Amino acid sequence: MRVLNTAIKMGLVALLASLVARLLNLDYWITAGLLALLSIHLTKRDSVRHAFLRLANATLGIALATLFFVLFGYHFAVFSVLVFLFAYLSWALGMSAGLVPSLVLMTLAFQGEFLRTLIVNGSRQSESHSAFLFPSTCLSVV
C-alpha cells in the first residue's frame, strides 16, 4: 500500500508542478514536473528539509555559473570545471540533495538559455507579479 501511495503522490506532484509552470508560461514547464519528482520524500519533514537544501544549492549553483560564464565565457572546459567544483562544494557543504536540480539549471546556463529564459519568463509574469525561479523547489512541499 505504501508503494501505491508513493506512486500516486509522485504522479500528482509531477502533474501539479508541470501545470503551475505551464500556467506561469514558463518555457521548460515539463522540466518543473520532472524536478518536482526529485523532491518527493516519505515524510513532510524530510521534504521541507530537502527543499531548503535544494534552494541553497541552486543559489550556489546559479552564482557559480554566473561567475564562471561571465569571467571565462561559455566553453565546454569552463562548464566541466564548474561541474567538478560545484559537485565538490555541494558534497562538502552537505547540500548534495540539490545537486541534480541545480546541475539542470547550470546546464541551461551553459547553453546560454538561462538568462534569456529568466528575462522572457520574467517579462511574461510582470503583469501577475508572481515569478517563480525554482518551481520544483517551491512545489516540493506539496
Residue range 21-67, pLDDT digits in tens: 999 988 778 888 888 887 777 778 887 888 888 889 988 988 898 89
**The overall pTM is greater than 0.85:** no
The residue segments making up the domain with residue 35 are: 2-139
What integer pLDDT is reported at residue 44 of this predicted model?
80
Q: Please count the structural domains in the chain.
A: 1
Q: Closest Cα to residue 25, out of 117, 134, 142?
A: 117
What integer pLDDT is reported at residue 116 of this predicted model?
56
Q: Is 124 helix (H, G, I), strand (E, B) or coil?
A: helix
Q: Are 66 and 109 in contact (CB under 8 A)?
A: yes
Percent of the chain topping pLDDT 70: 76
Q: Which residues contact 80 (CB under 8 A, 6 or more apart)?
A: none
